[in-house]
Each structure stands twice: as C-alpha cells, then as structure tokens.
Chain A
Amino acid sequence: MDFLNYPQPLADLISSLARLPGIGPKTAGRLAFYLLQQPQISQDLAQAILTANHSLKKCSICSNFTDQDPCALCQNPQRDSTELCVVEHPRDVVSLEKTKEFKGRYHVLHGVLSPMEGIGPEQLTINLLLKRLKGVQEVVMALNPTVEGEATALYLARLLKPLGIKVTRIAHGLPVGGDLEYADEVTIARALEGRRQL
C-alpha cells in the first residue's frame, strides 16, 4: 500500500485508523491528514479516547458501559425492575432508550452465540443475567434478527422459561439481517409494542 512510503508515525496513524469498522485505507488517509492539520481537535480526540477507555467499565449488574458502578440506569428507582430487556451491544441500549417506550431495565450480552467466532454461552454475560432474576417477571429479547440472535434468544428462553419467567421477543418489524442500530426510532418502538412470547 502506498502509505507505507509515508514517515513512520504517519503510516502508523493511517493504519490504526484503517482498523476501525467502516473505515477503509482511503478514508483513513484523509482523516489522518485532517487530524495533522487540526492539532486542537487531535488533542481533544486523543484525550477523549484515553479518558473513555480509563474511566468506563462494565456495570457489575447489567454489563453496560458506565463511568459509575452500578450504572445510572441500574440505580434509577423509577425503572420497572420486573421487566428486563436483553440486548447484544451497549449501543442497542441507546437505540432503545431513544424510543422512550421501554420502562424496565437492561442487560447487555456483549455479543451473541457464534460458534464460528468461538463465542459460546461462557463468552457472554449470561451468568450475570441469571444472578439478577429475582422479581423479574418478563424478559424481552431485543436481539438483532440474525440467525445468531435467534439462537441466542432460544438459548436464553430455554434457561428462563422453566423459572416461570415470561420470555418475549420484539417483533421483527426490523428487516431481516437488519441492525437495531440502523433502525429508526419508530420502527424500534413498533417492534417493542408488538413483542410476542417465545
């Protein structure tokens, strides 16, 4: 690749940027040159990345990223603790919160079952989930409509149903292969309303 002819620090910057999802070598090059021309923005960005990395941890209850433990959502007494919504990623919590439809609490799995990537139940936060079921009456699966999301929902349903917990999943108003992150708020809200029992 041609950026290997650049001075080492610049080449390093470009190849680091190119490792980010959705960024190819061309965009990485453009971003790198932009950052070099904007020292203040670079400073702020670098600082923000470091701070976020240092101060954010996973909430010991729901596993969402947080700067305080337990996280604000887990501490909020207004949230209905009989309903639990299971999501793949922290970003899905953000998507769902935007709809203001869901009043319960969340649990972040940090992935879904995928034997091809070596992800089994032990790699997800399922043990933590099982520990927080006291008083929970309904678990809503808000996993992406992929075959892996489906398998994960089924796995959890099999664990939870024998405990007398109602397990539902959000209706797939979401397109197949779609991502919660890209669905608009109305779609997600409609999907939440139409959840059905697993």
Chain B
Amino acid sequence: MNIIDFHLQNFRNYDKEVVTFIPGINTLIGNNGQGKTNIIEGIYYLLTGKSYRVKREHELLKWDKTDFHLYGDFIVKHHKIFLESHYQNNKKRVKVNQVPCQRLSDFVGTINVVFFSPDDLIMVKGGPSERRRFIDLHIAQIRPGYVSLLNAYNKVIQQKNALLKTYNDKSLKNSQLQLWNAQIIELGTKIILQRDELTKQIQKVADQIYMNLTSQKEKLDISYYALGKKNIQDALLEFPDLLNQKMDQEIERQMVLIGPHRDDLQILLDDKPARLYASQGQQRSLVLSLKLGELELIRQEKGEYPLLLLDDVLSELDSFRRNYLIEFIESSHIQTIITMTSAESQLGSGALFQVEQGHIRRER
C-alpha cells in the first residue's frame, strides 16, 4: 500500500501544498510548530475519516477559512485509488475514485494505515476506553462489518440507558430490560470474541518486537479482559447471569454497568501492570511494539504492508531502541512517513522534506 502524492488545502496551517512521497522512507524534518504533525494528521484523516487529535472537524480548518480539501493518489495491490475528502459547512464528503461514499464504514479499511502518535501513549496510563479504542481501530481495519457491529451495540447501550433513566422502578426487571439484554448478549459476544482473538494475535507479534527492541531484556504481555475476566469462555458462559445480577444495581444507578463497552486490555511489562509502573521510554517502546505488531498482522491479512505513519517517535528512546527502530524501517521496505525535529535526524536513506511554516520542500 503506497501513497504517491498528497494535497492539502486550508487544512491546519497549510494554504495549498503538495507532497510527492517515495515508496520507501519519507522523513519530515523541521522545528517545533512548523506543521509536521499536521501533514500526518491530514493523511490519517483522509484514510480514516477521523482525526486522532480532535472530535470536531472545525479545528482542522485553517483559521478564518470556510472549507478544507485533502486528496491524494494511492496504490493498493497495483491498483490506483484516488481519495478525496472535502469539509464545508459542518459536512464532510468523501469520494473514492470520484464516487461519493455514503458512510464512513464504506471506505475505512480500503487503504490501511498504522499510525504512531505521541497521543497514543495515553493508552498505557489512561482509562480502559483508550485501550479499547486501540483494539477496535485495529479490528475495524481488517474486519469489514466490525464498525457496524460496534455501532449497533452502542445503540443498544444508549437505548437501554434511556430506558433505565425513564423508569426507575423494578417493574422493568422482567419485561423491557430483557429485550435489550438479549441484544447486549448477542452483539456483545461477537465483539468480545473478536477483540480477544485479535488481542491474542497482537500479543504474539508485539511480544517478539518488544523483546528485540529491548535486546531480549523485557517481556510484554497483553490480554483482553471480558466482563472482568481473563478467561473469555467463562465470561461468555456467565454473561446472561452477570447481566441479571447487575439488574438491580443498573436500575438504581440508571446506567448499563456490564458489557464489552466497559471491558479492558491488561498490559504487563515483565509481569507488572504497565499502567502503574512503565517509564516514559517504556511506554513509548510498548506502544511502538503494539503498532508494529499491528503492521505485521495487517500484512498477513491483506497481503501487503499498510502505510506507516510515525509522528515524533524517536524522542525518549535510548540509542539502542532508536537504532533498532531505524533498522527495522530501513530493512522492511515499508513505506514510512516519519517526523522529527532537526536535532534528532538520523535516517541515512530515503527522501527528506523540510517543513517550515506550512511549506514543504524536498531536500533529498
């Protein structure tokens, strides 16, 4: 999977810029606040219809402008794909090869991407939702239909929450709550099984990468906890009982208290919870290993590597880890776009772009 060129108009601090990338390593170099991250964010937005950094598209719009435009040419399995994204009046329009897409889920996964952002580090120390997001985004990329499944499940949760808020009496217990519980079990089971399966896959590859990154010194272990349990089969068997047991409490607190929307991933470094003990560099190495693991899994599933976006990945890594990462990228022939400030530039090969105040210039 390759990006050939990328156009930004009125996006963040860019007026109108084009970058033509090479199939190998593309380094974006520049001082702080010049627009390196904005390019990566733009590419990610074009490919997924979402920004990692913001909830509202409005912030992506260049100050005082009314619409932004992102488009680019890509190659997927020897086919050329032209993607366009246009945002105006709070509406976004996406076109694939000039054909308008109705729903996000229609094109997510068309062009796969793995993105490391310093914002991802929050998945180590942050709440369970950050970790669920990681696994969900991964599944969405390789399993068509997963986004609709999640949306349907979330709708059930919203409906049940509304029901719990409208009537808070016990009479609900045997009637209407059951209707939604039945769907929580049906859809929730599918979500749990996929999350567990894919977490196990990631664990296998990411552990190996983490070992290499730390020169065999540290061990990474990641596992999915469904309904508070590590044993997924047990959890699923008990799912109906657990829902019934929680019912009184749910009626009292007027919200759904159990289901995969409250599940978590447990991450251990050398058998200790990373959430509590991981250092800055360890957090970065860990997230990086998960992302590189994801990269490998997408290749296995889709038959080619996804595009790799690495924003500000090198800082805080010791020289051994930096060198390992650089070697990994250089030897793997994955198309990579990596940002760094001038001070840390170390990549000897590939294209080099200087980013300065919203302008991009190829230097090598």
Contact = CB atoms under 8 A, between A and B. Distances in A.
Contacts of B155: 146-148
Contacts of B158: 116
A176 interface: yes
B182 interface: yes
A118 B166 contact: yes
Interface size, A (range): 10 to 19
A115 B163 contact: yes
B148 A177 contact: yes
Given A113-B179, A120-B176, A176-B148, A151 B166 contact: no
A147 B183 contact: yes
Contacts of A151: 159, 179-180, 183
B162 A147 contact: no
A154 B159 CA distance: 15
A148 B176 contact: no
A116 B182 contact: no
Nearest to A148: B159
A176 B162 contact: no
A119 to B, nearest CB: 10
A67 interface: no
A148 B166 CA distance: 17
A126 to B, nearest CB: 13
A33 interface: no
Contact of B162 (A116, A150, A154): A116
Which size class do B's interface residues fall under?
A: 10 to 19
A169 to B, nearest CB: 14
B162 A115 contact: yes
Interface in A69-98: none
B159 A116 contact: yes
Nearest to B103: A177
Most buried by B among A116, A118, A147, A154: A147
A193 to B, nearest CB: 24
Contacts of B159: 114-116, 147-148, 151
A116 B166 CA distance: 9
Contacts of A121: 176
B152 A176 contact: yes
Contacts of B255: none
A34 interface: no
B179 A155 contact: yes
Nearest to B180: A151
Nearest to A151: B179
Contact of B152 (A118, A120, A147, A154): A147
26 contacts: A113-B176, A113-B179, A114-B159, A115-B159, A115-B166, A115-B176, A116-B158, A116-B159, A116-B162, A118-B166, A121-B176, A146-B155, A147-B155, A147-B156, A147-B159, A148-B159, A150-B183, A151-B159, A151-B180, A151-B183, A154-B179, A155-B176, A176-B148, A176-B152, A177-B148, A177-B151
Interface of A: 113-116, 118, 120-121, 146-148, 150-151, 154-155, 176-177
